[in-house]
Amino acid sequence: MGTGHLHIDLEAVAANWRALDALSGPGCETAATVKADAYGLGVTQVAPRLFREGVRAFFVATADEGLELRRALGPEPRIYLYYGHMPGDTATIERGDLVPLICSLDQLERQIAQLPRRPFGLQLDTGMSRLGLTFEEWAAVAELALRAGPVLVTSHLAAADDPGSDQSARQLARFHEMTDGITVPLSLAATGGTLLGSAYHFDMVRPGIGLYGGAPFAQAEPVATLDLPVVACFDIPAGTSVGYNATWTAPAATRIATIAGGYADGLHRALAPGIEVMAGPIPCPVVGRVSMDLLTVDIGHLDRDPDSLRILGPHHGIDAMAARAGTIGYEVLTSLGQRYRRTYRG
Ligand SMILES: *Cc1c(COP(=O)(O)O)cnc(C)c1O
């Protein structure tokens, strides 16, 4: 039987895209960010489902991801690369008909010299200080870059998930300062920016995490459900410790289920203690340390041994799990292991 069973609901991904598309309104294209294997959920399943839903612009990080996506989707959609045009990428960009989002002066030079007639986009740094031409660089090269005919000009918000932060407004003002008056299509918003309202939408939004059921898109339908099979069950008397370093000791006689999944499968060691798994509607506490491939669960209150326990699902989504481990839903998804048996709905 192996390790866990990961159910991925492509109908929920499509519904989340439609909801974000409705928010971005007419006149704004809603693209999809599917980098890192569609946030760990399987790009060759997720992207064709989104294409069927009407998505015609996809964003990945690397040229290799772009080429894989081109093979999955055929010639029609536009595929953008957040890493831009890195050394060694030229042939892949050409073969995959990919659109690099140029993010430095070196890359601009490389693009113009090596792929002068191929489409490209630009990334501007409006205050995140991560990727993109700075304000001063843009002032120096905007004319040259615009003459080369970019198909999209983008920037990225650093704190769009925090409506209380004024950084988004400052970045928006900077983006206007850097792009007002140019006629190239513009894109600033990922999921968080899409939720901030129409001032942030421009010509295209490019959500990722919201499609996969994650914060800050609170209305998102959950996409991933994870069931872990029970490997063994046994009784322990009061005072027995469980797991590495004996971090939990049974206060009373109980029964333990050891289930198939651990930190090698993306169930972070920092999750324990405190997380619960579900036997149908009944929560059961995980006790003791997370091992590489195993978790131990107190099932003393169940009237029979379960076949499997649900660790991720509507009861306890990726953000709840992330909060337990001191991280974000993005990391929970992209850490999901390769050992799970995966089934897709939709
Ligand atoms: C990952 C990424 C996105 C998508 O962000 P979400 O928060 O997942 O919606 C958009 N733009 C850039 C530049 C990114 O790196």
pLDDT tens-digit profile of 290-315?
999 999 999 999 999 999 999 999 88
To the nearest 10 degrees (0 to 180), the angle between helices 105-114 and 135-147 is 10
Cα of 334 vs centre of ligand 1, distance in Å, is 14
Q: Which residues contact 255 (CB under 8 A, 6 or more apart)?
A: 233, 234, 235, 236, 298, 299, 300, 302, 305
d(CA 78, CA 88): 21
Tokens 């000009």 locate to 153
Cα of 302 vs centre of ligand 1, distance in Å, is 43
Nearest to 321 by CA among 257, 277, 256: 277
Q: Is the CB of 156 under 6 A from ligand 1?
A: yes
Q: Both tokens of residue 118?
A: 């191929």
Between strands 282-285 and 276-279, the pairing is antiparallel
Tokens 């995140």 locate to 128
Cα of 208 vs centre of ligand 1, distance in Å, is 6
Residue 82: active-site member? no
Residue 1 pLDDT: 55
Per residue in 223-278, pLDDT tens? 999 999 999 999 999 999 999 999 999 999 999 999 999 999 999 999 877 899 99
Q: Is the CB of 206 under 6 A from ligand 1?
A: yes
Nearest to 340 by CA among 321, 312, 318: 312
Residue 35: active-site member? yes
pTM of this structure? 0.97
Q: Is the CB of 124 under 6 A from ligand 1?
A: no
Nearest to 132 by CA among 153, 111, 109, 161: 153
Q: Residue whose CA is closest, atom 15 of ligand 1?
A: 82
Tell me the DSSP string of 180-196. Answer: TT--S-EE--SHHHHHT
Cα of 281 vs centre of ligand 1, distance in Å, is 35
CA–CA distances in Å: residue 26 to residues 56, 106, 164, 201, 203: 15, 36, 27, 11, 10
| Structural domains in the chain, sorted by start | 10-212 (3.20.20.10), 224-345 (2.40.37.10)
Mean pLDDT, residues 144-164? 96
- pLDDT above 70 covers what percent of the chain? 99
d(CA 19, CA 223): 14
Which of 37, 58, 59 to mutate to test ligand 1, by most ligand atoms within 8 A of the CB atom?
59
Q: Both tokens of residue 79?
A: 């595929």
Catalytic residue among 80, 83, 200, 244: 244
- pLDDT above 90 covers what percent of the chain? 95
d(CA 255, CA 265): 24
Q: Both tokens of residue 276?
A: 């619960």
